[in-house]
Chain A
């Protein structure tokens, strides 16, 4: 993946047009279908949304907006939950 890909919408040269995009979910590279949303990214990790929060490129995406927030090429999705600590 090259720097030039970052942030540009739509299918990328070098990938199959209209079929997939590259994102990172909790630091791991992942390919999701074109048109995938934050909700799809969460479903890669868990089927339960309870106690989970999402940041898309360092901004919180409220739970109610997961299904209406589309992902773009090279987006960084962080899916967090509470763990033992402190």
Chain B
């Protein structure tokens, strides 16, 4: 369908299909709805190949102590591909640690964007809702574009949106677990209530998980391990790119209702016409 360029209703926007289906996040526009992480890649070369195949426009990095012996920088890889750098606060256990890490990232990378990640323990890596909310409020007040990683909790998602976060990033399942989306119903509830983009973050194992996230109405998917730890990262990155696109198109298209019994897809045969 051709876009008339008019200020259409939501329904008309959806009818426009994929041609002008941009993601608006933190006031910026993006074509790709696949956000990549960089953890777990065996080398910068493999990471570079995967990022290229994924078509991503935003990719996360962590902040760590500078190691004089390390060679090559993930930043060089991202800059060479024109990919927006999204620093995270991975490894932080308290709001105070996360706020300091975000401020250091802003200083080092020149971006006010931060994926806020405050974990509760190193066995589950599940996000701590109390510390996350505390840090989110402080970072929003400090002018950051805050993208918080949270459990699949609709109430917390709503509170973080009210606190001024630019998106909410509920998990599908624990980081790196590959268990997919354990509570699709809660993801749907978050999507229904959200006025900011919902980014499914963590737990994606394979392409169908990413497609499901988009079919549930998520605005984007963030994943790393599913690609970087795949046997062939570049190939899985391509699979994820297609899965996110397919899931998005299916969401826009509108799935048919589930039925208990069959509904014939061929015209009924006129009475007496057979035999």
Please judge, given known A-B contacts A46-B68, A51-B108, whether A82 and B100 are in contact too, CB under 8 Å.
no
Contact partner of A60 (CB less than 8 A), chosen from B66, B88, B107, is: B107
State the CA gap A16–B81 with chains docked (Å). 52
Closest chain A CB from B135 CB (angstroms): 15
Q: Name the A residues within 8 Å of B44 (CB-CB).
A: 84
Question: A83: which B residues are within 8 A, CB to CB?
Answer: 61-64, 70, 74
CB distance from A26 to the nearest CB of B (A): 4
A51-B109, A60-B104 known; A82 vs B74 contact (CB < 8 Å): yes
Interface residues in B, total, Cβ within 8 A: 36
Are B107 and A53 in contact, CB atoms less than 8 angstroms apart? yes
The answer to whether the Cβ of B75 comes within 8 Å of any Cβ in the partner chain is yes
Point out the residues of chain A lying under 8 angstroms from B209, CB to CB.
none
Answer whether residue A52 sits at the interface, using C-beta atoms and an 8 A cutoff: yes
B33 is an interface residue with CB less than 8 A from chain A: no
Question: Taking the nearest CB of chain B, how far is it from the CB of A77, in angstroms?
Answer: 10
CB contacts under 8 Å to B, within A18-57, are 26-27, 45-46, 51-55
Residues of chain B lying within 8 A (CB to CB) of residue A55: 100, 104
Are A80 and B61 touching (Cβ within 8 A)? no
Is A80 a contact partner of B63 (Cβ separation < 8 A)? yes
Q: Which residue of B90, B107, B108 has the most chain A CB atoms within 10 A of its CB atom?
A: B108
- A63 CA to B37 CA in the complex, in Å? 27
B65 touches A86 (CB 8 A): no
Instruction: Count A-B pairs with CB separation below 8 Å.
Output: 93
Using a CB-CB cutoff of 8 Å, which residues 49-104 of chain B contact chain A? 60-66, 68, 70, 73-75, 85, 87-88, 90-91, 100-101, 103-104
Given known contacts A27-B65, A79-B65, A85 and B108 CB-to-CB distance under 8 angstroms: no
B61 with A82: CB separation less than 8 A: yes
CB A75 to nearest CB in B, in angstroms, measures: 16
Q: How distant is the Cα of A82 from the Cα of B106 in the complex, in angstroms?
A: 11
* B105, A85: Cβ atoms closer than 8 Å: no
Q: Assess whether B63 is in contact with A82, with CB atoms less than 8 Å apart.
A: yes
Residue from A45, A51, A80, A86 whose CB has the most chain B CB atoms within 10 Å: A86
* B66/A26 in contact, CB under 8 A: yes
Q: Tell me which of A80, A84, A85 contacts B65 (CB under 8 A).
A: A80
Whether B39 sits at the interface, judged by CB under 8 Å, is yes
Tell me whether A3 is interfacial, beta carbon within 8 Å: no
Inter-chain contact B108/A82, CB cutoff 8 Å: yes
> How distant is the Cα of A51 from the Cα of B106 in the complex, in angstroms?
10
Chain A contacts to B: CB under 8 angstroms: 26-27, 45-46, 51-55, 58, 60, 62-63, 78-86
Q: Which are the 10 A-B pairs with shortest beta-carbon distances?
A: A85-B62, A53-B108, A53-B107, A53-B104, A86-B88, A86-B60, A82-B61, A84-B38, A26-B65, A85-B39
